[in-house]
Amino acid sequence: MIRSPKALTASSFISMFFIGVGSTIIGAAARNIGLTPYQIGILMAVMNLGFMVAVTASGALADRYDKTRLLFIGSIVLAAAFATFYGRPSFMLNLLIMFFIGAGTGVYEGVTDAMLLDIHSERESLFININHFFVTFGSLMITLYLVFLQMNWRRSTVQSGIVVAVLAVFFAFTRLRGRDAGMKLSESLGVLMKERIVAVLFGAVICSVGLELGVVGIMTTYLMESGFNQITSKLVLIIFLSGIATGRVLIGFFSKNRQIPHFILLLFGSALIFIGVFFFTSLHGYTYVLVYFMGMTVSALLPLIITLAGLLYPEHAGTVLGIIKLAIPVGGMLIPFLFSLLTKAVSFRTSLVIFPLSALAGFILLLTNRRRFDHFIKNS
């Protein structure tokens, strides 16, 4: 049986790469498949449902069962879903397959960070930031790959399924016991649900994820209304995503465990400033530089919040991460939905205020609970 920490860490990074692939495949291949906007919305909603169910369940189970067994099951599900996605034209069949894509990626999200916390007793934030860097990397790579494949887009999903199946074989021959939580799942949930700090971190994840995905979703539209063309607006988006990728590595490298609450507070505050400047000033000559640093400000928010949750509750790491990560699809849907409502109630330009307000909400959540985090810092 394989027990190498390096091999397990590398397998975690590869797993997260395919979260990026799974979350991007619909948007990247929608026109080639011939999907309508209505169908795209339904498929994404069902994928998020599968993700929500799997990330919560697998996170809780990771405290009690071998994490590699859970990753093996998630890999089998995801490999089969990738390999069969739109192999047949039936929309209802592919709706079910999309649920399992969400479920497979949800298992990866729910287990890999908890596994890294088990493997690495130091520099946890670095490894979790790098772990989430691979989600962004996967999104970028599948988009570029599909550009070259053009109408042969299904080749990418079949190839992804094959690689994930190989990953399943690896997990079948590894062992890593989960930490003994010392109590039943219902008791762990009872303890964590009473902790105010869990609710604070849940809200912070909603703000960070909604902020990142919302800005990504609206950026090219905003830029084209501001005088950019198809090519330059996409170039700005790529620079923004590059800032996210760079920030996840650099900030993870420099953030020590005791500094994590301060880093989260600093990043929310910086995001408030940079996003406000981007959407509400006329600095188009500096847009390319501005969006790069704006990407860096939102880059490490989610990984650092996840790391902090695991460090605060090490005896319930899997369970608390499962709860916290439930906020990922919630944030991905809630902030864009509020933006949509605002565009109908006010103007498009005015509705952009939802993004700096999201950063402000995250900043206030951390600031008003800083004493609880200071207690963690003193005892770490």
pLDDT (mean) for 82-95: 90
More confident residue, 238 or 27: 238
Percent of the chain clearing pLDDT 70 (strictly above): 88
Question: Comparing 1-5, 82-86, 203-207, which segment has the lowest mean pLDDT?
Answer: 1-5
Top-confidence residue, 9 or 30? 9
Mean pLDDT confidence for 84-107: 92
Residue 93 has pLDDT above 80, yes or no: yes
The residue that leads in pLDDT, 360 or 123, is 360
* pLDDT on residue 358: 94
- 356 pLDDT more than 70: yes
Highest mean pLDDT among 60-74, 191-205, 260-274: 260-274
Judged against a pLDDT cut of 60, whether residue 99 lies above it is answered with: yes
Which of 78-82, 122-126, 128-132, 337-341 has the highest average model confidence (pLDDT)?
78-82
pLDDT score recorded for residue 75:
97
Name the one residue in this structure whose structure tokens are 């649900």.
193
What pLDDT does residue 171 have?
Answer: 94
pLDDT tier, 76 (very low <50, low <70, confident <90, very high otherwise): very high
Residue 222 has pLDDT above 90, yes or no: no
Q: Which residue has the higher pLDDT, 311 or 112?
A: 112
Does the pLDDT value for residue 101 go beyond 60? yes
pLDDT higher than threshold 60 for residue 136: yes
Query: What are φ and ψ of residue 2, in 5° steps?
Result: -80, 130
For range 64-89, the mean pLDDT: 92
Q: Which residue has the higher pLDDT, 44 or 114?
A: 114
Weakest-pLDDT range from 116-120, 209-213, 215-219, 376-380: 376-380
Residues 134-159: b if buried by 16+ CB within 10 A, e if exposed: bbbbbbbbbbebbeebeeebbebbee
Tokens of 224: 């084209």
DSSP notation for 26-53: HHHHHHHHT--HHHHHHHHHHHHHHHHH
The pair phi, psi for residue 194, each rounded to 5°, is -85, -10
Is it the case that residue 149 has pLDDT exceeding 70? no
What pLDDT was estimated at residue 319? 81
Q: Which residue has the higher pLDDT, 194 or 294?
A: 294
Q: pLDDT digit string (tens) for 160-176?
A: 999 999 999 999 988 87
Confidence of residue 186 (pLDDT cuts 50, 70, 90): low
DSSP states of 1-27 as a string? -B--HHHHHHHHHHHHHHHHHHHHHHH
Task: Decide if pLDDT at 38 tops 80.
Answer: no
pLDDT surpassing 90 at residue 330: no
Residues 358, 332, 207: CA angle, nearest 5 degrees: 25
For residues 243-251, give the mean pLDDT. 90
CA distance 86 to 93: 8
Question: Mean pLDDT score of the chain, rounded to an integer?
Answer: 84
User: pLDDT category, 237, cuts 50, 70, 90?
Assistant: confident
* Per-residue pLDDT, 311: 84
Across residues 145-151, what is the average pLDDT?
64
Tell me the domains of the chain and their CATH numbers: 5-173 (1.20.1250.20), 187-379 (1.20.1250.20)
Alpha-helical segments (H) within the chain: 5-33, 37-61, 67-84, 91-119, 124-149, 154-172, 185-193, 196-225, 230-254, 260-280, 287-299, 301-312, 317-325, 327-345, 348-351, 354-368, 370-379
Q: Are 74 and 22 in contact (CB under 8 A)?
A: no
Comparing 180 with 124, the larger pLDDT belongs to: 124
Of 74, 62, 131, 129, residue with least CA distance to 103: 74
pLDDT (tens digit per residue) in 264-277: 999 999 999 999 99
Task: Give the lowest-confidence range in 46-50, 137-141, 370-374.
Answer: 370-374
What does the pLDDT read at residue 232? 80
Residue 321 in this model has a pLDDT that exceeds 60: yes
Whole-number Cα distances in Å, 98 to 46, 84, 92, 254: 7, 10, 10, 38
